[in-house]
Amino acid sequence: MPNKYLFLFLSLERYIPGHDHIAHREGGSHVSQIMFFCGHKTHCCVVNSERAFRDAVDNVERHFAVVGVLEEMDKSLAVLERYLPRFFDGVTQVSCWVHVFHDCNLNTDKWITSGPVRSIHSSR
């Protein structure tokens, strides 16, 4: 019986369609935040599903006061500071120092990805 966590140790080349069944779900081959917010229903695993998107939006509106976005961390923290000052008061002053240390947490063990693999993943 194969180890169900084996895919964690595979290179990106192994994720090309037809090479590995572990990485592919119905409708695509990646996990999105829509799947996370949608829940554990079967239709939530379908990539680009309109129903999964509607359920995710409904869950966010019903169960979350604020959803931050990592790519907009400063803006997300500013919203949290205004919306929940008891917990996040002063966080925007602290977060400005994070940019000074942006190089200290680099991944030095990155695998080199070949040109064909990059082109397949950039076209998705």
Domain extents in the chain: 66-124
* pLDDT at 98 > cutoff 80: no
Count of alpha carbons within 13 Å of 55, Cβ hemisphere only? 19
The pTM for the full model equals 0.52
Give the list of residues 6+ apart from residue 91 with CB closer than 8 angstroms, or none: 77, 80, 81
| pLDDT of res. 9 | 65
Confidence tier at 30 by pLDDT (50, 70, 90): low
Rounded Cα distance between 118 and 74, Å, is: 30
Q: What are phi and psi of 25, to 5 degrees?
A: -110, 165
pLDDT digits (tens, 9 = 90+) for 58-88: 999 999 989 988 888 888 989 999 999 999 9
The pLDDT mean for the chain works out to 76
Number of helices followed by number of strands (H, E) in the chain: 6, 0
pLDDT value, residue 84 = 92
